Amino acid sequence: MMRNTFRVSLLLLLVAATGCVPASQPAEKNDSSTPGVTADEATPRETVGKTTQNVLSLEQATNDGAVLASTKIEAKNPLMASADAYRTSVAKIGGMGVEQAIQLRNAQSISDPKPLTYEVFMAEIIKPDQPDGIRLPMLPYYQEYAWDQPNQKLVVVDFPARKAEREKQR
Q: Domain limits of the chain?
A: 52-170
Around 60, how many Cα atoms within 13 Å sit in the side-chain half-sphere? 9
Give helix 2-17 / helix 78-108 axis angle, nearest 10°. 40
Residue range 14-51, pLDDT digits in tens: 444 444 444 444 444 445 455 556 666 656 777 788 88
**What is the value of pTM for the model shown?**
0.71
Residue range 55-108, pLDDT digits in tens: 999 999 999 888 898 877 877 888 888 878 888 888 888 899 999 999 988 888
Distance of CA 151 to the CA centre of its chain: 19
